[in-house]
Amino acid sequence: MSTSGSPSQSISATEGAHDTERLAANLIAMLQSNQVGSETTSSQVVAQVMELLTRKAPGAGPSSSLPSAASQHHLSSSPSMTRIPPSRPDHFVPTSAPSILPLSPSIPSPDDPHVALHAESGVEELLHRLTDLEQAHRDASISTRRRRRPTRLTDDDEEPYSKHQCGTHLVSRLQRDRLDEMDLPVRAYLQKEVRKTMYNLIGYQRGALMPDISGPLVARSGLFLVPDFKAGINAPPNRLIQGREAEMVLAYERDHPGTVPETHRERWLQAGVLLDLARASWPAMKLMHTEQRLAELDGGEKKMRREREARRIERRKTVSATPFHMELNSRTDPQRGQQPRDAIVDFCQEHDLDHQEMRNALVDEEWLERSGPVMRTGRETRAGGKSSSRQVQSP
């Protein structure tokens, strides 16, 4: 196999060059063009040269111009490579010049201070960007999450006493179904005493005007506490009335042990329970004062109109529940007519009474006189079309 020159002569010809990358490229080109060794040998040489390039970057110093002697010895002493004897100059056969590979991008060395500085700046920039992203994520989560606004208590929502004293264990805050047969009458009695005590403290008498700080005031002489119904239930003057009432009722009940059963005294005779009962009576007192003020403005017309409407509704309910209207109600509304009929039957069976006689006894003559013509007049009106509107009476 003819060769254009030995690798040692080419390497010696390139001694003094300062570009390690070009030297390695020429060596690879000569090895491939001369077909030195097998295919595996060429790949090993290429791998060793690339390792050399990785270790020594260009521009690192004078020592990086040539490969080390150990590398040359390793290349020459490789068992898989064939030693090519050097040819004489007179036997030189010109061949095509070996192709020079283009310069590959330089691989920076990790020990280069410029590379280390650039790496540190890149890490710092990455950390800054990561911090900005985390902050943006937190801001987005805060803005999308609904902020819980602080609860703003009004005068009606504030507690007139500490929560430690008035927890949910107070019997006055229990539901009706959780009270026994003795709790209900005790509650009704204490509620009445609380309301009566507050009336005495403010000087109110039944049938008179409810006093208020804006007027009217109590006409009779005496020392009375004046409520402020325009303010909330926890306004200072109103709190004073409730607290004084609780003290007076508690002192009276302790001096009179027979009013509340001994088994229920510990549950009911507490300041928190009496204050709860006072708060339950306060809305009725405020409503009474408001209605009296409105009656002064319109002369009581609204109150009388409301009372007339209540009486009219009550009469309609009473008439519709009588046996005379059971048949009519059962036609228009079967369920509505069946309920009072079943109630009368159950009552007669329980007390051993005649059902038919009970139905007749429940019918009042006045209802028959009023309701009979109305029904007949309605039929005549639908049949003949001539009837006076005065004859039609509403029950």
Q: Are 244 and 201 in contact (CB under 8 A)?
A: yes
**CA–CA distance, 242 with 274 (Å, rounded to integer):** 9
Q: Count Cβ atoms below 10 Å from residue 45 Cβ, excluding itself.
A: 23
Taking only the tens place, the pLDDT of each residue in 55-96 is: 544 444 444 444 444 444 444 444 444 444 554 444 444 444
> Tokens 């490789």 identify what position?
78
| CA-based nearest residue to 4, from 122, 120, 84 | 84
pTM: 0.40
Residue 119: predicted pLDDT: 62
Backbone angles phi, psi at 355, to 5 degrees: -65, -45
Q: Is residue 45 scored above 60 in pLDDT?
A: no
Find the DSSP H helices in 88-235: 113-144, 183-202
156-281-315 Cα angle (round to 5)? 115
Least confident among 170-184, 196-210, 317-331: 317-331
Q: Count Cβ atoms below 10 Å from residue 231 Cβ, excluding itself.
A: 14
| CA-based nearest residue to 54, from 8, 108, 102 | 108
329, two tokens: 């109600």
**CA–CA distance, 310 with 316 (Å, rounded to integer):** 10
Residue 150: predicted pLDDT: 66
386, two tokens: 């001539």
**CA–CA distance, 39 with 391 (Å, rounded to integer):** 127
Taking only the tens place, the pLDDT of each residue in 87-135 is: 444 444 444 444 444 444 455 555 666 656 666 677 778 788 888 888 8
Task: Give 368's Cβ-side CA count (13 Å radius).
Answer: 8
Reported residue count of the chain is 395
- Residue type at 128 in one-letter notation: H
Of residues 12 and 350, more confidently modeled: 350
Q: How confident is the model at residue 24 (pLDDT cuts 50, 70, 90)?
A: low
Residue 320: predicted pLDDT: 67
Q: Count Cβ atoms below 10 Å from residue 334 Cβ, excluding itself.
A: 10
Mean pLDDT, all residues of the chain: 68
Numbers of helices and strands, H then E, in the chain: 14, 0
Q: Are 201 and 224 in contact (CB under 8 A)?
A: yes
Q: Is residue 3 scored above 50 in pLDDT?
A: no
350, two tokens: 């329980």
Average confidence (pLDDT) over 226-234: 91
Question: Burial level of 27, CB count in 10 A (0-12/13-18/19+)?
Answer: buried
Taking only the tens place, the pLDDT of each residue in 178-222 is: 888 888 999 999 999 999 999 999 999 888 889 998 878 887 777
Q: Virtual CA dihedral for 76, 77, 82, 83, nearest 10 degrees?
A: 60
What angle in degrees, to the nearest 10, is found between the helix axes of 271-298 and 183-202? 60
> Tokens 């059902």 identify what position?
355
DSSP letter at 85 equals P
Residue 282: predicted pLDDT: 94
**CA–CA distance, 22 with 15 (Å, rounded to integer):** 12
| CA-based nearest residue to 264, from 191, 178, 186, 176 | 186
**CA–CA distance, 252 with 340 (Å, rounded to integer):** 47
Average confidence (pLDDT) over 331-349: 69
What's the start-to-end Cα distance of the chain, in Å? 135
Give Cα 76 to chain centroid, integer Å.
79
Of residues 201 and 136, more confidently modeled: 201
